[in-house]
Amino acid sequence: MNEVLRKKIEQRAYELFMKRGGLHGYHVQDWAQAEKEVSAAEAGKKAAPVTVPVQPNKDAPQPKPEMPAKKFQPSKRK
């Protein structure tokens, strides 16, 4: 693989990583998708999404689930 092509793939994989919110553990999937997109762009056609079975990194920080909003309870003080 030439250096220019590798740099394009690297940049696109990073864009996919950032689009996911910087969630770690999907680098193989991001790289495979980037390779397909860049190769298709070089060939002049649009790439379809790649599905790669990936085990996420269990040690990586995971996004926190959203907490439900608490209902306002007025004070009963007099």
29-75 per-position pLDDT tens digit: 999 999 999 988 888 766 566 665 555 666 666 666 676 667 767 77
Domain boundaries, the chain: 1-78
- 32-71 burial, b at 16+ Cβ within 10 Å, e below that, comes to bbbbbbbeeeeeeeeeeeeeeeeeeeeeeeeeeeeeeeee
CA distance 31 to 36: 9
Contact assessment for residue 12 and residue 40, using Cβ atoms and an 8 Å cutoff: no
Q: Is the pTM above the cut of 0.85?
A: no
Return the residue matching tokens 């250096």.
3
Q: What is the mean pLDDT of residues 21-28?
A: 86
The band of 13, judged by pLDDT with boundaries at 50, 70 and 90, is very high
